[in-house]
Chains A and B, each alone.
Chain A
Amino acid sequence: MNELETKCPNTWCPGCGNFGILMAIKQTIDELIKRGTPKEKIVLVSDIGCNSKIVDYINVNSFYSLHGRPITTAEGIKLANSDLRVIVFTGDGGTFNEGSSHFIHAARRNANINVFLHNNRLFALTTGQFTAVSPKGLKGKSTPEGNVEEPFNLPELAMAAKASFIARGYSVKVDHLKKMMLEAINHEGFSFLEILQPCPSFFDTAKDYNERTYEAINPEIDSKEKALGFIREWNYNGEGKIPLGVFYKTERLHYEEEINKGTEDNKVDIKKCLATHL
């Protein structure tokens, strides 16, 4: 594991869900390297927020992007070099508030990147405000009387946006999370892995998640209907079970191989082009 460490001091709060995610991704990267992916072929891209500090803590190529924009940066990296395995770490605020359009379009075009969403269901680094997935009624500094907005159901949104891989993990269940990460990374095409994550400082959901999450298995992995059955068990507000696991997976051509088609041979002939202007 040592070659994955950096000298950067970790500044997450004690008990933060990000520690579980960090552990899972380091084990995942180790596993990828063991299976033959050279470490230098992995690139991590992050948003801004507690979650995104993760790239400072892993000694792997990274681009620490702008708030809301890491998916687009990642799309650019994959566009430029399709040999790279590109993994985005982002938060619910960054991706479903600031950068929601980038998420749906990347999913729709099946960009061959992995989006790992640290979902603590509020803005934490800015000390606790609601996001697009906070439960209705959540009290924060900007909504002392309770948030009045309905939350998104993220896997449902990802399905509507035509994501070709949709899964959910939980930061406390590190082994299961690692399995989800590996499956997501091995998927060719856009993968969305939602990672439930308690925030001990502003929204401690650990007890709730420990009681309500369970590992689900979709017997028909490419069936949207079956997948939505699992996905709709939890609406981000009320009671009920919270399924974890790969909900949906399908294969289709991915963006970079289609968009780069015909430009791989590096042959440039400006003179020939100018001849069309005479």
Chain B
Amino acid sequence: MNNKEFSIIVGGAAGQGSRKAGLIIAKLFNELGYNIFIHEDYQSLIKGGHNFSKIMVSDKEVLCERDKVEFLLALDKNTIVQHESRLTSDGKIVFNKDKIDFDKGIGVAAETITKEAGGIPIMSNTALIGALAKIIGVDFSVLSNVLEKEIKKELEKNKDVAKRAYDSVESLMKVEATGKNPKPLLTGNEAIALGAVSAGLEKYIAYPMTPATSVLHYLADHKEELNVATIQMEDEISVVNMAIGSAYAGKRTMVGTSGGGFALMTEAISLSAMSETPLVIINSQRTGPATGVPTYSGQSDLLFTLASGHGDFTRFIIAPSDVNEAFIWSNKIMNLAWKYQTPAILLVDKELSENTFPFDETLINSVKKEEGLMFDGNGEYSRYKNAENGISPMAFPGEIRDTVKSTSYEHDEKGITVEDALSIILMQEKRLRKFKEMEKEVDNLKAVKTYGKGSKVIICWGSNKGVSREVGEKLGMKVVQPIILQPFPTKQMQKALEGAEEIILVESNATAQMEHVLNSYGIKVDRKILKYDGRPFTLEELESKIKE
């Protein structure tokens, strides 16, 4: 067994605590300085079914899920049935032998141990963690430290359960500390929340919808440190219109949802564009259409998002791929929305939103809140002043003596309704000039990222970057990742694709939506690898598909 890289599955029925166990195992390796990637797989139910966390651990960067499994921690029999075939030849199954009748692997008397320690049945997951720590040769003190940070209820009993299980099995190997410091482990949604806070977020408004909901939970749970008011409204329509009201009155506000809720919000995206009120929406994609598959991932909202809202206008659409990008671009999109007084959509998916990655803490020093253009107090205020670059200075009601009039109607410079042809043209052209400025802004940002070299190129976007990068590195291919998707970074894409002989598009939808976008900018794709089962590409899977 290569003891520098493992993948570990911990699985069970919903309610058995497999997710928490996965995080504790990840933190155990994090303590030892390893890189972590956790993929969460769960169903749309509360109890029963099959949930699992897959923890990838490596002393090198690990950016995606692997097929192979070195350790399978089974809280129920179904976990063994589902995943045994993925086990490597020297892989180990660690299971609750009080509950599961199974003759291979390492049985842990999890329930007996839990009872002896005076615990409750859910602590069986702690028993499996304790056993794993011993099997991989990690000192109990390391596990004990992690438990102290992670367990809020019945810590002593959990430690007792872990220790008894630890002592009940033999060590099979010795995982050494790497000497590197642990990094904060964040989900994509947590990084998005922190990025927005770094750009001055004060209000977060949402209606619960997987996979965006954890942004709301996270900000609510961390009110003390992050100081954001969290608001749950009656539907996504009220969410987005409330956000527009809040931004009009001067507060940085963000909302989050998934495809169906985003569809309800589109009316107000158009309002944001017309009234020139800043608006940031997180659209975390699930498998669509309609209700689709709520707890699984996809990239099938791309074209809808690009054209979201009625009328002629440009929005910012930004698709980060991992927690570091999520943090940076969540900050940036807030700043851009306020700079250009425009709707802006952070387009992510379940894989980014809910997977866990190590976060580069130094990034927090590289971001700040950038103020939008404010009225300087000279002359009489006009909300829609016909500025040369189309960007009219903002003012918030109550903060100046003059009147601040915003509107969904076509309007004059003061914000009064107009219907005559000349006024319509004047204001539409003011906005068109602003859209040009937005295009220039994108030209000046690093809107396209490239990795590696080669005439064979993988184009990917969003969460598929991780797996594409790892496969690209392995096969000597270049990877091109557009991050800003509107205004589209045409020049940067063309430059990134110079000398490309074969372009392979990797996308998680059924109709190659990014191909439509690329084609409209004159970029032809030679091959496309599409996946639309709600699951991410694994390393082995994408590699073999590219080699086909």
Contacts and interface: CB of A to CB of B under 8 A. Distances in A.
B268 interface: yes
A263 B241 contact: no
B398 A76 contact: no
B238 interface: yes
B217 to A, nearest CB: 14
B237 interface: yes
A73 interface: yes
Interface in B383-418: 396-409, 414-417
Interface string A83-126: 11000000000000000011001000000000000000000000
B548 interface: no
A259 B225 CA distance: 17
Interface in A30-63: 38-41, 43, 45, 48, 53, 55-56, 59-63
B249 A81 contact: yes
Contacts of A60: 403
Interface stretch (A173-181, A240-248, A264-272): A264-272
A76 B408 contact: no
Contact of A267 (B227, B244, B251): B227
A69 interface: yes
Contacts, number: 186
Given A59-B403, A81-B398, A274 B361 contact: yes
A63 B245 contact: yes
Contacts of B417: 8, 53, 56, 64
B119 interface: no
Interface stretch (B38-46, B183-191, B334-342, B471-479): B183-191
Interface in B456-509: none
Nearest to A255: B231
A98 to B, nearest CB: 10
Given A102-B234, A271-B364, A278-B149, A73 B244 contact: yes
B91 interface: no
Contact of B416 (A7, A61, A80): A7
Interface residue range, chain B: 35 or more
B203 interface: yes
B197 A270 contact: yes
A77 B414 CA distance: 20
A274 B184 contact: yes
A62 B383 CA distance: 11
Given A59-B403, A105-B233, A278-B184, A79 B225 contact: no
B271 to A, nearest CB: 5
A26 B401 CA distance: 18
Nearest to A85: B398
Given A61-B405, A62-B405, 20 more contacts: A40-B397, A43-B398, A55-B407, A62-B403, A62-B415, A64-B415, A72-B233, A72-B237, A72-B238, A76-B205, A79-B246, A81-B251, A84-B249, A101-B235, A259-B231, A262-B224, A273-B194, A273-B222, A274-B186, A277-B359
Interface of A: 6-8, 38-41, 43, 45, 48, 53, 55-56, 59-66, 69, 72-81, 83-84, 101-102, 105, 259-260, 262-263, 265-278
Q: Which 10 interchain pairs have the tightest Cβ spacing?
A: A76-B245, A277-B184, A80-B249, A64-B407, A76-B242, A61-B397, A72-B241, A80-B251, A73-B245, A76-B246
6 contacts: A40-B401, A64-B407, A72-B242, A73-B245, A75-B238, A76-B205
